[in-house]
Amino acid sequence: MKVSVHTHADCLGHEPGPGHPESPSRLKAVLQALDDPSCAVTERHDAPLATREQLARVHDAGMLDMVFAAAPAQGQVFLDADTAMSSHSLEAALRAAGAVCSAIDGVFAGPQRRAFCAVRPPGHHATHDTAMGFCLFNNVAIGAVHALAVHGIERVAIIDFDVHHGNGTADIFRADPRVLYASTHQSPLYPGSGAPSQRGLGNLVHVPLAAGAGSPEFRAAFETRILPELEKFAPQLVVVSAGFDAHRLDPLANLNLDADDFAWVTRQLVAVAERHAAGRLVSALEGGYSLNALHESTIAHVNALSAH
């Protein structure tokens, strides 16, 4: 099974400023990987703009008003020390959230059951009321709640293997038993959250990894902690926060994964989706700041999505 890709040229227009690690070159590397003949891509879709209704299911009205108002006519405006907006950032963020919603609509409509959203800015640090950590809107959270609201399902699992804990996603769903959020992440590292004791209603599964951890620790975290929780939860849709910054080449962290690890975990999640969710799985790009690692990891991830 090949994989549908949801993206938009507007996502290249987000310019956090010179030297910022979340640069347009990241998405260019991903798109080049998707053009590789070895990559199992079938259809490409232009992502729509997320609607205010879709955003407001997850984010406070005051936060949305602030982000919309902050978009500058030129130059950069910083929402915090790490999170900047340029003149085209709002459109990029709306396309990123819209891509996930559109991809979810697509896997429910069929015949494609798996999709990858090649988008930026990333989203998993954005909480219900705060844009932070390079993130404006929480793309996967918006998509998950869209699925619950529109497609008549009761359980969505979000799996996050970005090297940084998705504090925003955990914040949004900590009291929502319809969503299981499971994360592997380096600790200690930004944003400093994601302790195993942070369980929400029992629907948050946090497996921190120490600096220097690699394939054995990562795979054990899934085999012993996350995959059993997914089996018990039996999600009707699987959503993936696909950050590739746990790769050994990434400059912002200190884990030692490689593309084979991302392929392995993706195959495990595809198998969960096949057993419980009629194969439905939507993945969205989060972090990853080595261009070489992004390229090889994207190919590995998308080809693993095509399994079954």
Question: Catalytic residue positions?
Answer: 125
**Residue 249: Cβ within 10 Å count:** 18
For residues 243 and 192, give the distance between their C-alpha atoms in angstroms, rounded to a whole number. 17
**CB of 225 within 8 A of CB of 205?**
yes
For residues 120 and 117, give the distance between their C-alpha atoms in angstroms, rounded to a whole number. 9
For residues 269 and 149, give the distance between their C-alpha atoms in angstroms, rounded to a whole number. 23
Interior/surface letters 96-132, b for 16+ CB within 10 angstroms, e for the rest: bbbbbbbbbbbbbeeebbbbbbbbbbbbbbbbeebbb
Helices (H), 187-258: 215-221, 227-233
**CB of 271 within 8 A of CB of 159?**
no
* Phi, psi at 135, each rounded to 5°: -110, 135
Which runs of E-coded beta strand occur in the chain? 3-7, 41-46, 77-78, 84-85, 114-117, 156-160, 179-186, 204-209, 237-242, 281-285
The closest alpha carbon to 135, from 189, 67, 183, belongs to 67
